[in-house]
Structure 1
Amino acid sequence: MSRLKTPALEDLPDGATQVLDKLGAQLGFVPNMFKTIASNPAVLEAVVNLQGTMSRVLDAKTRHTIALAVSEANGCAYCLAIHTYVSSGLGGMSSRDIELARAGSSVDRKRAAAARFAQQLVVSRGRVGDEDLSAVRDAGYTDPEILAIVTVAVQALLTNFLNNVNQTDLDIPAVGAASESA
């Protein structure tokens, strides 16, 4: 059960309802995470704006791969479920690629390097080694793209932390442990 109060739609602050309506139109439903953070318009704006801005960096499958890799490394059940839903339903990723992303890999060599680097960011708390940077560069990423990988990873960490603190109620099918996914 969620630990933070999710306001009723009629109790939301001004402007939050429109943001939630837009998200609902994009995703087909309004995820519980957004319903909860709508109680604080500044947090809702920060999360939605960051997601909107980061949707313009890297390609969608790479962003989804990073989000899945980070959510697995950070143990966020809600984020794993929502990113699996979005990656497969809207992002065109296969179940195999989703499984690999959770393990810090991909069917695509370049995306695999981004996933490994993103997981290393989480494990090292951002203190990656020279070999980690070399590996992601050797896969073909430029320094500006590495900055994008870091920011997409931080975006995923932000929602991981919000959902882990809240223990957000799942409003989509849960995903099994990485070793159980197929």
Structure 2
Amino acid sequence: MSCFKKIIPFFCVPVFLIAATGTWNVDASGNWETASNWTPGPPPDATTDIARFLAIITANRTVTINTPKIVQGTEFNNNFNYLISGSTLTYQNGAGVTLDVTGGTGQHSIASSVVLANNFTATITPAINFTISGPISGAGTLTKAGAGTLILSGTASNTFSGLTTVSAGGLTLSKSGGAVAIPGDL
């Protein structure tokens, strides 16, 4: 009597979690939630997602957030202006979160409420202005980098609890009606 043992190979396939990048792909204003406005769909809405707003537009455009969104970062690069408005945009990822303006002459802005769930770096590489007019909250820090200027404006106070640091470029505080632009140390 002979015994045969079957050897069944066991394969381990590594799974890599990488940031999903969604790029706005229409030359029009529209809703963040519309999957066909992004390449590849679905729209960015996770702590590993990066929302990119690049050179597709040929005039100033508004991207409206209808329900709160979460991203690891946003990237802007266009000669026309993108305006992000509507519901809350949360920047959250344990590795840190970013807002990057990598090129172009567009004067982009975020009018939505912004939550800094982690330390946040706004790198505005070209010498342009980027405005956040919605209130900023959360436990993260805010660091401004790059040659451009970050403008904190609007009528609602910022309440984020982290430090604010300027490592390059400018930071303009232009809240109105007694609203607080920098709630902690600068």
Bigger share in strand: 2
TM-score w.r.t. the length of structure 1 is 0.24
Structure of greater Rg: 2
Higher relative contact order (CA 8 A, sep 6+): 1
Bigger share in helix: 1
